[in-house]
Amino acid sequence: MRIDGNTHWYRLDRDALGRINRSVFAANLSRVPYQADGELWEREVLRNFLDGDRLTKIPDARKKRWVILKWLARRFAVDSRYSEAEVNAVLKHHHPDAATLRRELVGYRMLERKKGIYRRLPESEWKAF
């Protein structure tokens, strides 16, 4: 700092700022919960709610539930047809409450049900929260 009458002039120590910057931002950035494109945040949600390929809990928050439902919906092929029993078998592989997950997938238009037959809709038709 340099004083010039009533004015105080400051000069930044660039080396010190560089060291502070490296120490603060060198932390594991994979723990950052949000990224502009959302991919990092979605990976964090999956990491928090999945134990291997088992869903530990159905998220209460709609944004997190959306991430989990997208992950589940991608377990079904777009061009295939499934009976309710087949849908339940796939969902029960990941979580015991297949009925809730099946209703959510239909509600978000990820799966369509007609006359007891289910099919996965294209992702462009999925209805976000």
Domains of the chain: which residue ranges? 34-125
Q: How confident is the model at residue 72 (pLDDT cuts 50, 70, 90)?
A: very high
Count of C-beta atoms within a 10 Å radius of residue 112: 13
Mean pLDDT of 34-41: 67
Percent pLDDT > 90 in the chain is 65
Mean pLDDT score across all residues of the chain: 88
pTM across the whole model = 0.69
Distance CA 15, CA 51 (A): 44
Distance CA 24, CA 26 (A): 6
Percent pLDDT > 70 in the chain is 89
Q: Would you say 114 and 77 are in contact if contact means Cβ atoms under 8 Å apart?
A: no
Distance CA 12, CA 70 (A): 48
Query: Which architecture characterizes domain 34-125 according to CATH?
Result: Orthogonal Bundle (1.10)
Q: How confident is the model at residue 2 (pLDDT cuts 50, 70, 90)?
A: confident
In the predicted structure, residue 41 carries a pLDDT above the cut 80: yes
Residue 77: CA count within 13 A, CB half-sphere = 5
Mean pLDDT of 46-70: 95
